[in-house]
Structure 1
Amino acid sequence: MEGGKFVLSDDQVEIVYEEKVTRFGHGAKIGCPRKYLGRRVYVVVLRDDEHEEADG
């Protein structure tokens, strides 16, 4: 974070992918390839006025 802005340069990013959040017990999860296990990641939640309700 720099001055309240989220900044990543191209040489810092290995992959960007989209995944849907799904139910997991009393919480939620996203899928991630096993090859990234133990790696530092960022999850960016996008604002979506037309999202589906989490409870169905």
Structure 2
Amino acid sequence: MGGFFSYPRIALADARKAREAAKDLLADDHDPSAEKKQAKRATRNAGNSFEAVATGA
């Protein structure tokens, strides 16, 4: 019988690397959460400009 939800699996080593990267950002006075949101927003809006929609790019 399968589970109800699929839990995203991440290797412990990858989780530790991500933690270290976040700690480095904090040490440089950058908010890791804000950086992640900004990157997500940039990729989501990359093809939604008027020019991209008008030219079909």
TM-score by length of 2: 0.22
> Is the strand fraction higher in 1 or 2?
1
